[in-house]
Amino acid sequence: MKFLFAFSFTCIAGVLFLNYCHKPEVKSLTTDTESAFSLPEGSNQLIGSLTQSLKRPQAERIDDITNDDYIVECESKSLIKEEGDIDSQQQYLKSLYNSTSQDRMLEYALFAELPDGKAKFDLLLEYNEKFPNNPLVMMEALHLCDNSSKKKCDKNFIDTAISSDKDNGAMWLQSVFYFASQDNDEEMVKSISGLAKTSLFNERHGERIRRYAQALAGSNIPDFYANAASGIGIEAARVAGYSHIVNWCKEGLNDIEKVSACLSLGRNLEKRSTILLSQLVGIAIQRLIHEADGNTELIQLLEIEKKQLTKPWGSESFIKASSLMNHDEKLLRNWLDNFDEFGEVESLNVLIEEAKSLSQTKGLSLCTH
């Protein structure tokens, strides 16, 4: 299952350059700057000190797990599609335009290639007019606002989008991306503050992949695994606007308010994001600030955290477990469900343990599926 392997390491490579940021000369910074962005008392997503080890809840496994590390290795299946298959799938997605089903109309708005002159952003707004406040739709529309000159991507639209999922820090993050691309410091700081006050953080990564696979269930290739693989590829191609944010933090190291906002954002991304790339960017942002302040102790703690997050990727168990999802649909669906609830790293750890359990109970019979 090479597509998952490549996707994970693409995420890691995307932030490696952040670890080599030039250390600028700045005045000393203190942890007092973080107070304006701390989470409210009683929040179940408290960030707390970097010295605290905050972990996501453990996901349920399929079966009881033993200490046996054995994972069945099956012959790899080809995921390469014929050009005609890809064209056929796109034609199927385009045909959903004529559907009266709310789900099919949503899938068309999210995934279909549009005719010339038709913009995805406008289509999402049209869907929202018919079926208001769908968080998945509004998050995607807000995502498309990044680096956009669309007149409709104004403060009113941003507020409307956030209100559809206001307790989700990932929606506020999309507004941070947008205001960063517009060089709007004031709204960036407000959005980061709003993000820190939210009670959950879900980028809906697994939901979009699962929705894409389900959208193609009625096509000429109804295989859930093959379609989920395509969905993962599409999801991996989504570009996050972190470069604007990193530059903003790098250039604001003499501004106490910006430093406070960047530390808050970095810690929220590290501890709360469900996506490994975002967690690593969060670590890199914090490191940038602590390097400027000469705080080697906190830099070491961040390095330990980064190693813990990236430890599973590329391991033999990871490769075998990922491949096994090709032969057990329940394993794949469970991984997608766990992704949004528990995050990319924990969902991978769960996947590996579930693959071990299935290997012990079903053995080579898994390869016949």
Q: Kindly list the domain boundaries of the chain, sorted by start residue.
A: 83-165+202-233
Q: In whole angstroms, what is the distance from residue 104 CA to residue 274 CA?
A: 27
**Tens-place pLDDT, residues 223-260:** 898 889 889 988 888 878 899 999 999 999 999 999 99
pTM above 0.85, yes or no: no
Q: Which residue has the higher pLDDT, 3 or 356?
A: 356
d(CA 45, CA 315): 30
**What is the Cα–Cα distance from 15 to 246, expressed in whole angstroms?**
11
C-alpha triplet 336, 339, 340: angle, nearest 5°:
105
Identity of residue 108: Y
| Confidence at residue 78, expressed as pLDDT on a 0 to 100 scale | 57
Q: pLDDT over 70 for what percent of the chain?
A: 78
> Environment class of residue 83 by beta-carbon count within 10 Å: exposed (0-12), middle (13-18) or buried (19+)?
exposed
pLDDT at residue 28 tops 90: no
Structure tokens belonging to residue 366: 């898994």
Q: What is the pLDDT of residue 260?
A: 97
As a whole number, mean pLDDT of residues 165-184 equals 94
108-112, 114-118, 228-232, 239-243: lowest mean pLDDT where?
114-118
d(CA 20, CA 217): 45
Tens-digit pLDDT profile for residues 138-150: 999 999 986 566 7
3-state secondary structure of 200: strand
For 189, how many CA atoms within 13 A lie in the half-sphere containing its CB? Answer: 12
- Rounded to whole angstroms, the Cα distance separating 208 from 57 reads 22
* Tens of pLDDT, residues 43-93: 333 233 322 333 344 454 444 444 468 999 988 765 555 656 677 888 899
State the pLDDT at residue 326. Answer: 85
